[in-house]
Amino acid sequence: MTKKNKSPAPIDTDQTVSEAVQIILKHNYNYLLAWEQSARSWDDIEGVHQTRVAFRRMRSALSAFRAAIPRKVSKPWSNELRDLASQLGMARDLDVFIDEGLGAILGKLPLRGEEGVTQIAHQHREQAYLQVNAMLDSDQYKHFKDNFPLWIDGKEWEQAELKIKHRNNLSTNIVPFSRKLLDSLERGVLEAGSHVNKESAHEMHKLRIECKKLRYAAEFFIPVLKGLDDFIRHMKRLQDLLGILNDVSVMKHLLDIMMENEDNHEVLEYAGGLVGWRTRQYYEMLDTFDDRWEEFINAKQPWWRKYP
């Protein structure tokens, strides 16, 4: 698998749940290793991004397969994945802020302070990447790389003390399991979004999280359920809108940190202008929420189809 290969894990319809989860975890672990070196520098901001995505996908898989691998078995690794991913968070947020936030707005705000905010952001990114490299060189990460592949390769969840229902689910075929799981995750999205208060950041954030759960799981099962590519495309516009809301929140949080000890009025004013600019973009897009939601709920759910 090359670094640029973003294809889903090669599971197939003849496999059990246990075999499929092993392949999904190993595929994403290898994907993590392929991007690891790139994550050390912002020369290619995809490095930190894709490394963080790999951690999140593995954690999402452990959550998605909880009916077969219970929380008490997966929790130590789930916690480890969450902690490692979190140490990449500041670098990723600053990459997005600098390359996609500032980059899109530079020269457009009729305010001074642009150069000062840019300089401060780059200084904070340098510090954030020191943390990334410290994590990649840490004993914690070495322990993860030494032991997580063994847990995967040995399918050690099968050796755990499990209830009968978990063992039955591990040995069942992946196709009916995936149908049931996707149906459950879609209900979670529908419950969160059907009567969502679009003015509530909390409710919109909850909807975003439910969408991400469904999106990750759908991507896992593309090889065994025809039509999931189309379904994911219908989700994308809704997720794009929810992602901008998250960007506004992240930008405000970053600027609060970066401006904590700043006393330059022009820099502070420009920072406020950035938040206002991005917030305005969000509210312009918010007018399209109903159309995006309708597209999602009208999308065909391929897991309802009969499959040989």
Q: pLDDT digits over 280-304, tens only?
A: 888 888 999 999 999 999 998 889 7
Mean local confidence (pLDDT), 148-176: 97
85 belongs to a structural domain: yes
Name the band, by pLDDT with cuts 50, 70 and 90, for residue 308.
very low
pLDDT band at 305 (very low <50, low <70, confident <90, very high): low
Q: Using CA of residue 237, residue 222, residue 229, residue 100, what is the dihedral sign?
A: positive
- The yes-or-no verdict on residue 1 having pLDDT over 70 is no
Tell me whether residue 10 is in a domain.
Answer: no
In a domain? residue 162: yes
Instruction: Say if 22 falls within a structural domain.
Output: yes
**pLDDT of 307 above 70:** no
DSSP assignment of 46-112, as one string?
Answer: HHHHHHHHHHHHHHHHHHHTTTTS-HHHHHHHHHHHHHHHHTTHHHHHHHHIIIIIIHHHTTTSS-S
Q: Does the structure show a pLDDT above 90 at 15?
A: yes
Q: What is the number of alpha carbons within 13 Å of residue 130 lying toward its C-beta? A: 6
In this structure, is residue 252 part of a structural domain?
yes
Q: What is the average pLDDT across 103-122?
A: 91
- Tell me the per-residue pLDDT of 116-130, one tens digit each, with 9 for 90 and over: 999 999 999 999 999
Count up the domains in the chain and report the number: 1
Is 51 inside a domain boundary?
yes
Report, in angstroms and rounded to the nearest whole number, the Rg of the chain calculated over CA atoms: 21
pLDDT tens digits, one per residue of 261-276: 999 999 999 999 998 9
Which of 109-118, 170-179, 182-191, 299-308 is predicted with the least confidence, judged by mean pLDDT? Answer: 299-308
Range of the domain at 209: 17-302
* CATH number of 23's domain: 1.40.20.10
Domain presence at residue 255: yes
Model confidence pLDDT, tens digit, residues 123-157: 999 999 999 999 999 999 999 999 999 999 999 99
Write down the pLDDT at residue 2: 42
Q: pLDDT band at 306, cuts 50/70/90? A: low
Residue 103 inside a domain? The answer is: yes
